[in-house]
Structure 1
């Protein structure tokens, strides 16, 4: 499942994002914060990244 958040300001990242620094970085790059959620027997696993309509979901690389 892909969950894309409609974030427009950095303050919104602090209010509800699980990983605010990822959310803010997506905003600074002109993208939207997103979570890819996979469900396993031991519970859900979330991968955090950014989303654009052109490229879809991408995981942020460490810089």
Structure 2
């Protein structure tokens, strides 16, 4: 997936609690958003990127 910051559904400035709520409830053709986030963080870890905003977000959501 790629981001389009000009898209009307782009939500880049949401507060943490709102992102957590949306990710916890989100599900699409690719599965649950929480699983997608966890898989992305796992791949970042494998690349040696071990601390970033997605890691923090996953911690807020709870593993």
Bigger Rg, which one: 2
Higher strand proportion: 1
What TM-score, normalized by structure 1, do the two folds share? 0.26
Q: TM-score scaled by structure 2? A: 0.26
Q: Please identify which structure carries the higher helix content.
A: 2
